[in-house]
């Protein structure tokens, strides 16, 4: 049974157009035995954001630390530690951190989106 210790996660900068102050790690996926999905951890620093984008797979999210916003289409909601979110496929969305603390969340996607 794979166990990934939180202090051993290796985070990498997200270097996509439209992203700023965001790092991520693919924590559990095919190499740990989960053949169809990948659990990723994202950290967005104060003032940071993900690209405003869409793709053909869904996201399942859980906020682990801090707070931020999630925009799906034209609807923006604040999300905070302990909240869950679902981003449907083929839907424009963006995560932002307009606050002064780090915003960290889990994002589960099908492997074609990892």
Report which secondary-structure segment, H or E, holds 6: none
Q: Which of 28, 39, 41, 107 is catalytic?
A: 107
List the structure tokens of 20: 């700023």
| Residue whose C-alpha is closest to residue 33's, from 113, 111, 105, 107 | 111
List the structure tokens of 89: 């496929």
Mean pLDDT of 25-43: 94
Indicate the domain borders of the chain: 13-113
User: What pLDDT sits at residue 2?
Assistant: 80
| Residue whose C-alpha is closest to residue 106's, from 26, 3, 47 | 26
The model carries a pTM of: 0.93
Report which secondary-structure segment, H or E, holds 43: strand 37-49
Told to judge if 107 belongs to the known catalytic residues of this protein, a careful annotator would answer yes
- Asked whether residue 48 carries a pLDDT value surpassing 70, the answer given is yes
- Asked whether residue 1 carries a pLDDT value surpassing 70, the answer given is no
- Domain 13-113 carries which CATH code? 2.60.120.10
- Asked whether residue 113 carries a pLDDT value surpassing 70, the answer given is no
């Amino acid at each position: 049974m794979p166990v990934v210790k939180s202090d051993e996660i290796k985070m990498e900068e997200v270097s996509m157009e439209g992203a700023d102050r965001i790092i991520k790690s693919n924590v559990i996926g095919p190499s740990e035995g989960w053949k169809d999905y990948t659990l990723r951890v994202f950290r967005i620093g104060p003032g940071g954001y993900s690209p405003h984008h869409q793709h053909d797979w869904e996201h399942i999210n859980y906020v682990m630390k801090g707070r931020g916003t999630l925009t799906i289409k034209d609807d923006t909601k604040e999300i905070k530690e302990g909240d869950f979110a679902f981003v449907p496929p083929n839907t424009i969305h963006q995560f932002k951190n307009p606050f002064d603390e780090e915003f960290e969340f889990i994002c589960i996607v099908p492997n074609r989106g990892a």
